[in-house]
Amino acid sequence: MRPLITLLTDFGTADGYVAEMKGVLYSLAPEARVVDLSHDIAPQDVESARLAVARYWRRFPPQTIHLVVVDPGVGSERDALAVRSEDRVLIGPDNGVLSPALLVAGARAVSLQVPATASPTFHGRDLFAPVAARIAMGAPIDALGAAAESPTIRRTPEARRLGNGAIQGEVIAIDRYGNAITNIVAFPATQSREGEQAFVEVGGRTVPVARAYADVQPLGAVALCGSSGLLEIAVRDGNAAQTLGLGRGSTVTLHQQR
């Protein structure tokens, strides 16, 4: 099977930076399949990139190489990493963006050597892409550097249980539809336990918990278990973030009454 290299960046595509990276990849690893995941991460938004990585990195087949270049610290003393975790390899700056793979038991990280000729503004092209190509051509990550001592870890803040049994969390992301993803771990049957009635307080409103968007009327607000297992606030056929005035950090409280 030809090696698979995925790309996640905040470069956009119009400036040609991604094009340069692809040129390097196809030149150094001619057999690789290069797969765009996104280049539309908001500029320098490491947190969004981390949440995206958490969603996708393990869904790809073993041996996939994930390049993740959201790198506001490029050219600084920040480290650069290659991580082997659950049979995938992830490559990117040591700013927490690779945390989802680093937090898995058995993960190993090496610290990458920056080539003397690398542009201090574009490690995506001059460091990370060449490393991805070397791995695609068969290099083990141990050949690429010494073990990284204490890679940067970023974590989603944890929700907490209130005295009354409610769970208080916060919005961690707004998606393209305006859905507000929270840090409250939900479960598909949140709304259906017998005799319980769950609801959510958010943005000064009380929102029912249901299974699917379609369980409420059009333009009705609803809380549900999102596709990655987190409680999510949506407005059917609408935009919850706008309607309810939500953004990252907005408080969300889940009540489960008997």
What is the footprint of a second copy within residues 38-97 (CB under 8 A)? 38-44, 48, 51-56, 58-61, 64, 72-77
3-state helix, strand, coil in the chain (%, to 5): 20, 30, 50
Which one, of 186, 230, 193, 232, lies nearest residue 213 by Cα?
232
* Nearest distance in Å: CB 20, a second copy: 5
* Nearest distance in Å: CB 164, a second copy: 28
* Nearest distance in Å: CB 196, a second copy: 19
Looking at residue 138, its amino acid is G
* Nearest distance in Å: CB 2, a second copy: 9
Question: Which of 103, 107, 177, 185 is in the footprint of a second copy by CB under 8 A?
Answer: 177
Task: Check: CB of residue 132 under 8 Å from CB of residue 28.
Answer: no
User: Is the CA virtual torsion 71, 76, 77, 80 positive or negative?
Assistant: positive
Nearer to a second copy, 31 or 158 (CB): 31
- Binders of a second copy among residues 220 to 249 (CB under 8 A) are 224-227, 232, 237
Nearer to a second copy, 41 or 202 (CB): 41
- Binders of a second copy among residues 137 to 176 (CB under 8 A) are 173, 175-176
215 binds a second copy (CB under 8 A): yes
219 binds a second copy (CB under 8 A): no
Q: Which stretch binds a second copy (CB under 8 A): 7-15, 138-146, 150-158, 246-254?
A: 7-15
User: Is the CA virtual torsion 181, 184, 188, 191 positive or negative?
Assistant: negative
Alpha helices in 29-157 (DSSP H): 46-56, 99-102, 123, 129-136
Nearer to a second copy, 58 or 145 (CB): 58
* Nearest distance in Å: CB 163, a second copy: 31
23 binds a second copy (CB under 8 A): yes
Nearer to a second copy, 17 or 166 (CB): 17
Question: Which of 108, 115, 119, 251 is in the footprint of a second copy by CB under 8 A?
Answer: 119
d(CA 101, CA 108) in angstroms, rounded, equals: 9
Beta strand 33-38 with 88-93: parallel, antiparallel or unpaired? Answer: unpaired
Nearer to a second copy, 119 or 206 (CB): 119
> What are the backbone dihedrals phi and psi of residue 129, each rounded to the nearest 5 degrees, phi first?
-65, -45
Write out the DSSP string of 201-219.
EETTEEEEB-SSGGGS-TT
Q: What H or E segment, with its residue span, contains residue 174?
A: strand 167-174
Q: What H or E segment, with its residue span, contains residue 185?
A: strand 180-185
* Nearest distance in Å: CB 3, a second copy: 11
Nearer to a second copy, 160 or 187 (CB): 187
35 binds a second copy (CB under 8 A): yes
